[in-house]
Structure 1
C-alpha cells in the first residue's frame, strides 16, 4: 500500500492504465512514493505555495507535493495516456490539482498560477535542460518562481553546480549561479526508476536571489559566456575575437589574462568582462 495517501500504489496505477514508459517522451517513472515525498520535501515549505510540475506521468511526485501540503499543483503533461491517472489524484485532492495536456515548451503557465510559486519536477530527459535555461533567463529578474527543485541526469546536475577548473564547468553553471544558489540535494540510482535508465540521477535545488551576485547585462553576459565555451580549449583572446578587435584590451580591463581558457574564469570575472565589453 501507499504510505503517503490512500490512493493505490503507483505500480497498480501503471498497470491499471497501461502506462508503459515511452522512450520517445523521455519517460522513466519513479514508483517509490516514499522517494517522491522526499523529493517534494526538498522543495521546502509548500504550504501557501502554488507548485508547477512538468511531466507528472502517473503522478508519483504530484502525490508527494500534495501530501506535503502544496496549496495547489499545476501539472503539465504531454502524454494523454496519463490523464485518467492524474484525474484520480485530482478527485482525492479536490480543488488542489489542475492538469493541462500539452508540451511544456509551448505553454505559458503563469495564467494558471498564483504567487508564491515554486517549480518541482522529475523533468523528461529530452527537454530538461532547455526548460531550465528558460527559467534562468527570463526578461526580468526576479523570476516568477521562488525556487526550482528538479531531477536531472547526474551529469547535468553536476554541470549546474560545477566550479571553475572542473570539466563540468560551463555555461549552465554560470547561468545558474549568477542569479541563484544551486546545490545537489539528492542522488538516485538507475534502479529507482522503471524502466531503469543507463545513468544515475540527481535532484538539484535552486533558490532565486533577489538580484544577481555581480552586476552585468544579461544579454552581453550570455553572449560572452556562450562564445567563450563554444571553443573552450582555445585561449580567450582567440575564442572571443568575434567580440571585436580590441578584445585583449577588454580582457585586461576585466583583470583576465587573454591567455586564460574559459574553464579557468570565475563567474565574477565573466561579469567583469561583460561590463568591459558593454562599455563604450
Structure 2
C-alpha cells in the first residue's frame, strides 16, 4: 500500500508524530496496510460512496479506503495529535478526505455526508458498542447508511451475529439482526495491533434491510427483550410477569412456551410476542 499511495509506512508516521496509543481513548493501531486495504475491500464497492470512518488514528484504514476508490471519506477523530498525519493524507488525495476533530458521539456526521453512505471503522473499544446501537436505532429506517463494516473485540462481534441457545445470544444480536444481515468477515489476532490488545478482534459487516425482518413496534420489542434478558436464566412466565396481566396467555398466543427461557427464543418469536403485547 505504501508503494501504491506513495505515503510513508505507518510506523514511520507514528514515530514522526510521536503517536503513542492512548488506552483512555481506546486506541489500538492497525499498522499493516495490506490488512487495512483488505478491510476496505470487505466493505464492498466504495466507488460512488461517501464513507464515514470513526477513530482513524494515524490513517491506515483511511488510506485503504481512499486507495480502494471511496468517493469521499469523512474521518472523525477525537485525538488532536492525529490531525497532522491525517492532513498529510488529505493533501495526497485532494478533495476526497474531510477530517473532523471531535467526539463521534457528538458530531452530526450526516451534515457532512452525501448518500450513498457506508460506514467503515476500526472503532475505539470504549465507544464501539454505543455507536453501533445508535446506528441501529435511528428515528427513521432505512438509516443514512447502506452498510456498516466495523471492527470490535471478537466477543462483541460474536454477540452481534449470535443465534439462539448460544453463549453470546442476547439483545445485541436481536437488535442487529432485526434490521440487518450481519456476519463476521475477518478475525485478527492481538499481534496485528500496536499496542497488542489482550483479545482477538473481528470485523463485522452489517447490511441494512429495507425494513425490519419481522413486524414489531420497536419500543415494545425493546421492552420485552430487556425484561427477558435481564433475567435470562428464568422462565419467560417469571421474567416477563411484570410486563402485563395474563402474560402466559400472550406467550402461548405468540407460539412460545411460558417455560422457555430468553436464550431459547428466536428473533421471530420475540417479534411475535411484541405484537401480542402491543395489542394491549
- What TM-score do the two structures reach when normalised by structure 2? 0.99
Q: Which residue of 1 aligns with 2:47?
A: 47
CA distance 1:184–1:110, shift in 2 (3 Å): same
Q: Which runs of 5+ in 1 are unaligned?
A: none
Q: Which residue of 2 aligns with 1:8?
A: 8
Q: CA deviation at 1:249?
A: 1.3
Q: Within 1, Cα distance between the matches of 2:246 and 2:108?
A: 41
Moved over 2 A (4+): none
Contact 1:153–1:199 (8 Å) recurs in 2 = yes
Instruction: Write the deviation string for residues 61-97 of structure 1: whole angstroms up to 9, x where unpaired.
Output: 0000000000000010000000000000000000000
Q: Which residue of 2 aligns with 1:217?
A: 217
Q: Which residue of 2 aligns with 1:21?
A: 21
Q: CA deviation at 1:251?
A: 0.8
Contact 1:4–1:33 (8 Å) recurs in 2 = no
Q: Within 1, Cα distance between the matches of 2:3 and 2:176?
A: 35
Q: CA deviation at 1:163?
A: 0.5
Residue 2 of structure 2 aligns to a residue whose secondary structure is coil
Q: Within 2, Cα distance between the matches of 1:242 and 1:116?
A: 43
Residue 234 of structure 2 aligns to a residue whose secondary structure is coil
Q: Which residue of 1 aligns with 2:145?
A: 145
| Counterpart mapping for 1:125-164 below 5 A | 125-164=125-164
| Counterpart mapping for 1:1-280 below 5 A | 2-280=2-280
Q: Within 2, Cα distance between the matches of 1:101 and 1:241?
A: 48
Q: Within 2, Cα distance between the matches of 1:217 and 1:14?
A: 48
RMSD: 0.8
Q: Which runs of 5+ in 2 are unaligned?
A: none
Contact 1:151–1:203 (8 Å) recurs in 2 = yes
Q: CA deviation at 1:8?
A: 0.1
Instruction: Write the deviation string for residues 211-256 of structure 1: whole angstroms up to 9, x where unpaired.
Output: 1110001111111111111111111111112211221111111011
Q: CA deviation at 1:12?
A: 0.3
Q: CA deviation at 1:53?
A: 0.4
Q: Within 1, Cα distance between the matches of 2:29 and 2:128?
A: 15
